[in-house]
Structure 1
Amino acid sequence: MAKEKKYRKKKLGSYPFASVVFSITLALFVMGLFGLLIMTTKNLTRLIQENVEMQVFLHKNLSENEIVKITKILSSKDYVTKKAGMAQIEHITKEAAAKAFVKETGEDFVDFLGDNPLRDVIIIKVDPDFQAAANLSEIKKEIEFIRGVYEVTYIENLVQSINANVKKISFVLIGFSVILLIVVVILINNTIKLALFSQRFLIRSMQLVGATSSFIRKPFLSRASIFGLLSGFLAVGLLWALLHFVERQVEGIMDLLKPEQLLVLAGAILMVGLLVGFMSTFAAIKKYMKMSLDELY
């Protein structure tokens, strides 16, 4: 029994299962966490950008048909955000605006003034692709040329602040992504190299009895591929459990993550686990096969 156990430990292609899978799973889990952070930040930024609005104030005494015509013109513009094919436009009449003001302040200025000085306003949500300062300025001028439009306003400082912060966040996330990917690859590579260190003399023995390079590599590469995939599935499972835990603590957090993005992230984790495990094992085996006996010691 003891001899059989000893033989199993020295079987070609075998190396510590638990430590390798644990290390690779941990590295992939950290990579997945950062991937979730990137997706959440990107989607949250997009959500903020999609709520950037322009207020289009209309001339007084326009007919219903004229207002509908202006609304149709704006709906056809590329710079207006579309959701499910519907332009994100809202028409607020001066009567509705007055009621909202009275409800909010408790003061009926219409009775006091004897007239409603407010104007009908059409609120449009600007597509994020058109939110550069130069684009917004051109859009403002274009809308003001539409017959029946009195004035166009938007919070310029807010838009500039959003654009500046988006650029900063993008650069930071890209930088961290590159660094983290390099760290994950190095960690997995070193883990496999250390695991294969105990097999170096067995590899040399197989070479001495005439085993071909492909015959020696095959069991190591097969096991590395299995370990990489298993670690990937474990990392994805941990991320799934973490997401459901966070969802119970922070309601609506899952709304910031799209199913297709989660599938891409899961696929990327599995692919990194498989490829890095395979390539690191291939490189390590090649290295040990080329070493002299003195170098192996």
Structure 2
Amino acid sequence: MLFFLGVYFMIAIKSNAVLKTLKNETSVLVEVEPGITDDLIPRFAALPGVIPNSVSFTSSQDAKRIMEEELGSAFLDLQGENPFFDTYQFNMEKGSVNIPLLRSMKEVHDAYAQSSYVDQISTNVRKFSRLALIVGIFFSALAITLIFNAINLSLAESKSSFYTLKLLGSDWNFIKRPFLQRAFYSGLLSGGIAILLFVIAMTYFMLSNDTIGKIISIWNVILVAFIMLLVGFLVNLLSTNAILNRFLTMKEEDLYT
């Protein structure tokens, strides 16, 4: 629950930043001349304004296979040689896009600045955020219910002891203290495990993708991790306190029902 909650918070916090970054970048497609076997990824990655980790290569054979899978028999009816070129695709900062410069390279057959799909992506991000919220609420409610029932079962064995201590005049805070302490540490443990998984996932995405690395900062991760930790021990603590209060207000005839 806490892991998915953390992912949702990160999406909610950074979705606008993602869209802003996409608006400031342009996708470029470069077709290379037939017979070029050199790996041009380092060369394109070194161009001014190119996002290095965004450079990818698709061979003409891979492009043909993809089209065969998408068009099926309609593509197989076409006669002649493979119509596709080896291509490189990468993202560039909008102000740095220079298609004539790319076309002037001897290895390049042609280059294109692809159309922007920011509006469509924006709509998809909003839809995904709403879906993530619904899924997050569902799993949160389910997890809280399971946690509440688990705590209820673990404390049910001690409800007669609660009643006895209450008859002896023990203060409610004194009775609840050891159970609340246990709930506090249990919440910290569950929150810590969720945070560890969350940090590992965020670190992987930040290191493997330059764009994500620019959007998400270490402070964003720390903020979301703190929220996860807070939610982790509050759910356990408040659930335990509510159950203890219910047991302590029970009458003797309710103890064995």
Distance 1:97 1:236, change over 3 A: closer
Distance 1:201 1:42, change over 3 A: farther
- Please report how far the alpha carbon of residue 267 of structure 1 lies from its aligned counterpart in structure 2 after TM superposition: 0.6
Deviations 1:157-215 (A, max 9, x none): x3432232233222222222333333333232222222211211111111122212222
> Match for 1:183: what amino acid?
L
> Match for 1:293: what amino acid?
E
Does the alignment pair 1:90 with 2:95?
yes
In the other structure, the counterpart of 1:292 is 251
Does the alignment pair 1:195 with 2:199?
no
Give the share of equivalent positions with the same residue, in percent. Answer: 23
Contact 1:39 1:257 in 2 (8 A): no
Does the alignment pair 1:28 with 2:33?
no
Distance 1:102 1:233, change over 3 A: closer
Which of 194, 199, 217 does residue 235 from structure 1 map onto? 194
Structure 2 stretches lacking a partner, 5+ long: 28-92
Distance 1:50 1:166, change over 3 A: farther
Q: How does 1:104-123 map to 2 (within 5 A)?
A: 104-105=108-109
- CA distance in 2: counterparts of 1:162 and 1:34, whole angstroms: 17
- Please report how far the alpha carbon of residue 97 of structure 1 lies from its aligned counterpart in structure 2 after TM superposition: 5.0
- CA distance in 2: counterparts of 1:198 and 1:44, whole angstroms: 51
- Please report how far the alpha carbon of residue 243 of structure 1 lies from its aligned counterpart in structure 2 after TM superposition: 5.2
Q: Which moved more, 1:204-213 or 1:28-37?
A: 28-37
In the other structure, the counterpart of 1:265 is 224
- CA distance in 1: counterparts of 2:200 and 2:9, whole angstroms: 15
Does the alignment pair 1:252 with 2:215?
no
> Match for 2:157: what amino acid?
S
- CA distance in 1: counterparts of 2:216 and 2:232, whole angstroms: 23
Contact 1:228 1:273 in 2 (8 A): yes
- CA distance in 2: counterparts of 1:239 and 1:196, whole angstroms: 31
Distance 1:99 1:291, change over 3 A: closer
Does the alignment pair 1:48 with 2:22?
yes
In the other structure, the counterpart of 1:101 is 103
Distance 1:100 1:52, change over 3 A: closer
SS in 2 for 1:105: strand
Distance 1:97 1:206, change over 3 A: closer
Distance 1:35 1:190, change over 3 A: farther
Deviations 1:42-68 (A, max 9, x none): 765553233269xxxxxxxxxxxxxxx
Does the alignment pair 1:223 with 2:182?
yes
TM-score, length of structure 1 as denominator length? 0.51
- Please report how far the alpha carbon of residue 292 of structure 1 lies from its aligned counterpart in structure 2 after TM superposition: 2.5
Q: How does 1:78-227 map to 2 (within 5 A)?
A: 90=95, 98-103=100-105, 104-105=108-109, 155=115, 158-227=117-186
Distance 1:37 1:160, change over 3 A: closer
SS in 2 for 1:267: helix
Distance 1:258 1:190, change over 3 A: farther
- Please report how far the alpha carbon of residue 286 of structure 1 lies from its aligned counterpart in structure 2 after TM superposition: 0.8
Deviations 1:3-61 (A, max 9, x none): xxxxxxxxxxxxxxxxxxxxxxxx434544555676787765553233269xxxxxxxx
Contact 1:31 1:184 in 2 (8 A): no
Contact 2:8 2:129 in 1 (8 A): no
Contact 2:148 2:239 in 1 (8 A): yes
Contact 1:40 1:257 in 2 (8 A): yes
Structure 1 stretches lacking a partner, 5+ long: 1-26, 54-87, 107-122, 124-153
Distance 1:251 1:46, change over 3 A: same
Equivalences, count: 185
- CA distance in 1: counterparts of 2:245 and 2:129, whole angstroms: 39
**Higher Cα radius of gyration:** 1
